[in-house]
Amino acid sequence: MVKNNKIALITGANSGIGLELTKKILSKGWEVAALNRSDFPGNDPLILQALKTRHLRIYKADLADFSSLRGALGHLKISESHIDLLFNNAGVYFNEYKYSKQKREMHFEMNTLVPYIILMELKELLVKGKIKTVINTSSNTLLVLKNLNLDTLMKPGATRFRKIIGPYAHSKLALSLWTKKIASDLWTEGIKLRSVCPGPSRTKLTTGKGLPLFMRPIRNLIFAPTSKGASRLYDAAFNFEDKATGIFINKGKETRIKFREHEELVLAKLNDIYNSEFVV
């Protein structure tokens, strides 16, 4: 690695919006540390060249498995000198309830909790970087919600599953709430955070049974190419003043979200899980 190199850590970098974001960052002369569960496609010239030159470095883990994630992050912290940009991009969307090895519902685990754990574990590397910016991939589905019950989100029990505006939207709301709450504390260390909706994109998350029936025939009309979503995440890192921290960005603009009264509770719960279950 070159001294003073610019490094972006991207989770879920090997497909969908994450892959387009990885290629965009690499094309700008950056290096990328990718935290993925699966391999990159083997036929993309830019990816193959970046792997060859070590401008793209892969750290593999099942992000929803604390043991696997802990090992990958430990390796990353030893191997990387600093991180300038952290894109917490990896996420899940299912058409039914699923549970992690830690016995919590997977939307909460992957979309809300894991980004917090990654931030906490990599904070020291971010402090060593120059840009010190964290972009959490959220969703504008949070704007239509009328309530938030964190206990039900983590362990829904017999609660009826709802597509899009169910656990997915609630997990993204919780993500944006903790992003807002923790921002002032991390600002004292020079770290900026923003949660960003990349917009509806044609990814694996928006195919097949995951969508309500009425949306399937018009999928290609309302869902944009993944490159557009990647550009929105990239622009969120560079098109705002440093003091714009903790904000939620939708369609390129700062957007107010409701349920601010839940910010402290969400952050406290995540911090409790992190310290009691993840930290060794």
pLDDT at 137 over 50: yes
What's the rounded Cα separation, in Å, for the pair 167 and 94? 9
Domain presence at residue 132: yes
pLDDT at 32 over 50: yes
pLDDT in tens, 179-216: 999 999 999 999 999 999 999 865 555 555 555 554 55
- What amino acid is encoded at 163 in this protein? K
pLDDT of residue 224: 59
How much is the average pLDDT of 96-101? 96
Domain presence at residue 1: no
Domain presence at residue 261: yes
Edge-to-edge strand ranges of the sheet holding 7-11: 56-60, 31-36, 7-11, 85-88, 133-137, 192-197, 247-250, 253-254
Name 175's Cβ contacts closer than 8 Å, sequence gap at least 6: 111, 112, 115, 136, 138, 195
Q: What's the distance, CA 193 to chain centroid?
A: 12
What's the rounded Cα separation, in Å, for the pair 33 and 205? 23
pLDDT in tens, 154-167: 999 889 999 989 99
pLDDT grade, residue 139 (50/70/90)? very high
> Does the predicted TM-score (pTM) go above 0.85?
yes
pLDDT of residue 225: 86
What's the rounded Cα separation, in Å, for the pair 150 and 128? 34
pLDDT of residue 202: 55
DSSP per position, 170-217: HHHHHHHHHHHHHHHHHHTTT-EEEEEE--SB-SGGGSGGGS-GGGGG
pLDDT of residue 3: 54
User: CB 114: neighbour CB atoms within 10 A?
Assistant: 24
Query: What is the domain count for the chain?
Result: 1
Q: Any idea what the CATH number is for the domain that residue 215 is in?
A: 3.40.50.720
Range of the domain at 148: 7-278
Tokens matching residue 177 = 């709430």
What's the rounded Cα separation, in Å, for the pair 254 and 221? 25
What's the rounded Cα separation, in Å, for the pair 169 and 172? 5
